[in-house]
């Protein structure tokens, strides 16, 4: 597949295809992957997420991009930027996020990909501010935020996680052009 919006050294970033739905469903069904989320998404919820990302891509030129390893074009999850509109004092905003298959953890893909997505957001799209959010318990994601140069702005209670007390307290990081 050579339909990449952009590439980093080892990764290709692209819009989603129907073929990605089953593979992303498998990633989402991994309990270790979803330990910092309130529930494990169903295949239908995964399909709906991908459809929303395709819409964001066509409307804005960005989304949480489907990501392939360039060495073998294997789909490994997503890294990208997406609009967030939940109710808070810092939304609407553009958020950077990632979710990669557990087999790909510890290889630097999230950091490499997130750096490239920030570059794309600032230099190609012209965005001025990117935020990143995760539950305070998600040390791995917070470590990536720090590695890509984001600065912690505050802790806050995420309104969509109010029923999940162990996940409700989240951290907000930012990066400005």
- pLDDT for 5 beyond 90: yes
Which DSSP symbol is given to 42? P
Which DSSP symbol is given to 41? P
Could you report the per-residue pLDDT of 14-33, keeping only the tens digit for each? 999 999 999 999 999 988 87
Share of the chain above pLDDT 90, in %: 76
pLDDT of residue 132: 95
- Gap between the terminal Cα atoms of the chain: 32
In whole numbers, what is the pLDDT of the chain averaged over residues?
Answer: 92
Could you report the per-residue pLDDT of 83-126, keeping only the tens digit for each? 999 899 999 999 999 999 999 999 999 999 999 999 999 999 99
Model-level pTM?
A: 0.92
The CA distance from 167 to 137, in Å, is 7
The CA distance from 15 to 89, in Å, is 30
Domain edges within the chain: 6-127
Pick from 49, 119, 123, 65: nearest CA to 97: 65
Identify any residues that bridge with 13 across adjacent strands, giving them in sequence order. 6, 67
The CA distance from 150 to 132, in Å, is 8
Could you report the per-residue pLDDT of 42-87, keeping only the tens digit for each? 999 999 999 999 999 999 999 999 999 999 999 999 999 999 998 9
Could you report the per-residue pLDDT of 153-172, keeping only the tens digit for each? 998 888 777 776 777 888 99
145 three-class SS: helix
- pLDDT for 1 beyond 70: no
- pLDDT for 145 beyond 80: yes
Contact (Cβ atoms closer than 8 angstroms) between residue 15 and residue 52: no
Domain 6-127 has CATH 2.60.40.10: no
- Torsion angle, CA of 136/142/145/146, rounded to 10 degrees? 110
């Amino acid at each position: 597949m050579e339909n990449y919006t952009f590439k980093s050294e080892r990764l290709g970033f692209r819009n989603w295809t129907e073929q990605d739905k089953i593979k992303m469903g498998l990633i989402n069904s991994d309990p270790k992957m979803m330990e910092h989320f309130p529930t494990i998404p169903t295949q239908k919820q995964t399909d709906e997420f991908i459809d929303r990302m395709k819409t964001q891509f066509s409307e804005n030129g960005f989304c949480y991009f489907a990501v392939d390893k360039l060495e073998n074009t294997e789909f490994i999850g997503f890294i990208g930027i997406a609009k967030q509109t939940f109710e808070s004092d810092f939304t609407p905003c553009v958020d950077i996020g990632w979710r990669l298959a557990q087999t790909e953890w510890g290889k630097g893909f999230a950091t490499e990909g997130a750096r490239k997505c920030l570059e794309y957001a600032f230099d190609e799209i012209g965005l001025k501010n990117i935020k990143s959010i995760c539950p305070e318990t998600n040390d791995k994601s917070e470590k990536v935020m720090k590695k890509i140069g984001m600065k912690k702005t505050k802790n806050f209670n995420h309104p969509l996680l109010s029923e999940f007390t162990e996940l409700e307290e989240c951290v907000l990081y930012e990066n400005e052009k």
